[in-house]
Amino acid sequence: MTTEILRKQLAFTLEKTEWPQLGSLYRGKVRDVYVRSDSLLLVSTDRISAFDSVLSTLPFKGDLLNQLSLFWFQHTRELVPNHLLDSPDACVSIVKKAEPFPVEFVVRGFLTGSLWRDYAAGNDPYALELPPGLQKNQRFEKPLLTPSTKAAAGQHDLPLPEKKISSSGLMSAKHLAQAKEAALALFEAGQTLAAQRGLILVDTKYEFGLAQGKLLLIDEMHTPDSSRYWRKESYEASFNQGLPQEMLDKEILRRWLLEEMHYKGDGPPPAIPDSFRIALAHSYLDAFHTLTGKPLPLVAENVYARVEKNLRQKGLL
């Protein structure tokens, strides 16, 4: 049943929006951001990106990313203030304006992904000085911060050693300390809840900004786009046998691109088959259901028309 709904929705995925009445538009890799006089209106589209390139769309991805971020914002709002004000549609959030820091705060609990590839090649772009002899997918004793630059759409994020953030003038030492403390606290909260639901929050990225001089968590939070999730029950056995972990996130797409299509982000991206789009959507939906305890409501429909209708009903259009 779910597969059939996903297949029908392929024709209605939300690729982009055009509502100039909402304000000036900035189009990111995934979100269409409308700048209003007193706030931002964020539309989470169904675009899927990897290696900093937009590749295709996934059915219901925008709804899922926005709703899962709302779930995590609610869960952690007493821990770190966030920018959420309202959500007039499943894939739309109205948020406080903040001056974003040009840094993505990536927190890692395991040696995997690009960090493993760097480590295996003898590179240390974050100046972590990891000891020799570590294994792929090995858990760190304590989570590590591996920041990166925040690149514009179509450009690549670059590793950024922590000590260079303030020295390069990207952030003050005070704000860097606050953001690091917030990122590590949010990651701990995320790992705790995920573990209770049978998942491992492997790594994730956070973005922060300043609003009236105060640090705010912005953008998204703990989604399959911005985070890695593994099945908790199979981690140890897979790690001990050197097998791939059971994933519920965008790393499925990255691995397919690297191993099957030999694509690393350079040159024209390959076409994504509909069958793969549906399979990846299933993984995202599985992660959502497992984390929140509720399935994402699925109705095959024209997302653009639905959002427009809801924005009009709210007096926003």
**Confidence band of 154 (pLDDT split at 50, 70, 90):** low
Question: Cβ contacts of residue 203 below 8 Å, gap of 6+?
Answer: 106, 107, 108, 109, 110, 112, 113, 227, 228
| pLDDT over threshold 90, residue 301 | yes
Instruction: Give residue-wise pLDDT tens across range 76-107.
Output: 999 999 999 999 999 999 999 999 999 999 99
pLDDT, one tens digit per residue, over 190-242 is 999 999 999 999 999 999 999 999 999 999 999 999 999 999 999 999 999 99
Residue 158 is predicted with a pLDDT of 85
Length reported for the chain: 317
Average pLDDT (42-52) is 94
Rounded Cα distance, 229 and 231, in Å: 7
Q: In this predicted model, what pLDDT tens digit does every residue of 59-80 receive, in sequence order?
A: 999 999 999 999 999 999 999 9
pTM: 0.95
pLDDT tier for residue 273 given thresholds of 50, 70 and 90 = very high
51: region left, alpha or beta (phi > 0 left; psi from -120 to 50 alpha): left
Which regions of 102-211 does DSSP assign to beta strands (E)? 103-111, 138-145, 148-149, 199-211
pLDDT grade for 152, boundaries at 50, 70 and 90 = low
Which pLDDT band holds residue 52 (cuts at 50, 70, 90)? confident
In sequence order, the 6+-apart residues with CB closer than 8 A to the CB of 198 are 231, 232, 233, 290
Residue 244: is its pLDDT beyond 80?
yes
Distance CA 250, CA 281 (A): 10
Q: Which of 197, 196, 130, 124 is nearest to 161 (CA)?
A: 124
Q: Is the pLDDT of residue 153 over 70?
A: no
Instruction: Reply yes or no on whether the pLDDT at 177 is more than 60.
Output: yes
Mean pLDDT across the chain, nearest whole number? 95
